Amino acid sequence: MNNTDIKKTSLPISELLQDKRYPIANLCKKANSIQEIDHKLKKCLDPSLPDHFELANIKTDSAILLVSSSNWATRLRYNIPAILNALNNQLNFTSVKTIRIKVKKIIPDNASKPQKPMSLSKNSAQVLIDVADNFTDPQLRECILKLSKNYHK
């Protein structure tokens, strides 16, 4: 692929996230939809609950909630009937019959980092530089150039 081919296919990331031809656009749309439903669900529930969970996904017959701790998982389990009621009756997700609750793994700030930093080959770094040269979005270009500096000398 030469530079003119790359320029024809290069799009700003904002367009990639909205263009239905790209799988990432569907993923972005689904994430936005779940975020909207999460916001509406939290408005329907006891005011003490919303800060301690987030809607992770809605499948055909189940909703998955992530909680900040096992204590909140237990408390949320007592509220499953209210959650199902809100989803079924107020938000029109009548097919949802099950609520699954999962505790998020929280990585502490002081967690040890990998001993050996990851690096790129010189060839891979050059490919990233060539790709970055074809982006018009300055932030994205800068990020890719920053990545290209991680090659093993």
Prediction pTM value: 0.60
Structure tokens at 104: 């998020």
Structure tokens at 91: 């938000």
Give, to the nearest 10 degrees, the angle between helix 122-132 and helix 138-148: 170
Q: Which of 97, 98, 93, 82 is nearest to 46 (CA)?
A: 82
Q: What is the 3-state secondary structure (H, E, C) of 59-128?
A: CCCEEEEEECCHHHHHHHHHCHHHHHHHHHHHCCCCCCCEEEEEECCCCCCCCCCCCCCCCECHHHHHHH
Burial annotation 29-51 (CB, 10 A radius, 16+ → b, else e): eeeeebeebbeebbeebeeebee
How do residues 46-105 score in pLDDT, each as one tens digit?
A: 888 888 899 999 988 999 999 988 999 999 999 999 999 999 999 999 999 999 999 987
Give 145's pLDDT tier (boundaries 50, 70, 90): confident
Give pLDDT, residue 85: 93
Residue that the structure tokens 């009756």 belong to: 89
How far apart are the C-alpha atoms of 56 and 68, rounded to whole Å? 13
Sequence-ordered list of residues with C-beta below 8 angstroms from that of 93, at least 6 positions apart, any chain: 37, 58, 63, 87
24 vs 95, which has greater pLDDT? 95
Judged against a pLDDT cut of 50, whether residue 1 lies above it is answered with no
Architecture per CATH, 23-103:
2-Layer Sandwich (3.30)
Number of H helices, E strands in the chain: 7, 3
Quick one: what percent of the chain has pLDDT higher than 70?
84
- Domain boundary assignment for the chain: 23-103, 119-153
Judged against a pLDDT cut of 80, whether residue 133 lies above it is answered with yes
Sequence-ordered list of residues with C-beta below 8 angstroms from that of 95, at least 6 positions apart, any chain: 60, 61
